């Protein structure tokens, strides 16, 4: 009976551990910047975990609102793996008289199949709209490079913000 229980418990433990080795964890998102005359910057997203399938990078936090809106945090890098993880999206810029710039998207993780770059954050709304964040580059790959992320939209305002540039496609080696 004890031997049978040991075999069952061991099998369950192996099954529970297997997905973690296969798929990297998704990283946490950055926190929102505080409001004020100068809005705080949003926190950067964490990098995705490395594994056979790289984890997705965390999203950047939104910039805080203020007279000068805070910039959005940058997205985290996708984890490295046979299948590179997707880069996190950049946080939106904070609203204000001068809208904050959107955060840049994280780059896709490297791998046999490179991960997709994260999208840039939207510029903050204001009399002078903030600039959209740049999209992250697609991950480098041994076989199949992935597409770069889309640039963020410029913020709305009396003077609209400039849209962010699109990310570069991934290199293939």
pLDDT digits (tens, 9 = 90+) for 104-126: 888 888 888 888 888 888 888 88
Q: What is the pTM of this model?
A: 0.75
pLDDT value of residue 18: 42
HEC string of 141-172?
EEEECCCCCCCCCCCCCCECCCCCCCCCCCCE
CA distance 62 to 75: 11
Alpha carbons 168 and 7: distance in angstroms, whole number: 50
Residue 4 pLDDT more than 60? Answer: no
């Amino acid at each position: 009976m004890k031997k049978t229980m040991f075999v069952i418990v061991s099998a369950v433990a192996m099954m529970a551990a297997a997905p973690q080795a296969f798929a990297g964890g998704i990283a946490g998102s950055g926190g929102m910047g505080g409001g004020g005359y100068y809005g705080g910057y949003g926190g950067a997203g964490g990098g995705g975990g490395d594994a056979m399938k790289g984890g997705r990078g965390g999203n950047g936090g939104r910039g805080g609102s203020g007279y000068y809106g805070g910039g959005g945090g940058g997205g985290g890098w996708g984890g490295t793996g046979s299948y590179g993880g997707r880069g996190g999206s950049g946080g939106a810029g904070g609203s204000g008289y001068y809208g904050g710039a959107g955060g840049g998207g994280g780059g896709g993780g490297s791998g046999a199949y490179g991960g997709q770059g994260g999208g840039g954050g939207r510029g903050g709304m204001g009399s002078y709209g903030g600039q959209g964040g740049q999209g992250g580059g697609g991950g480098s790959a041994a076989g199949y490079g992935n597409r770069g992320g889309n640039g963020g939209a410029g913020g709305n305002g009396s003077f609209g913000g400039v849209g962010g540039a699109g990310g570069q496609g991934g290199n293939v080696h």
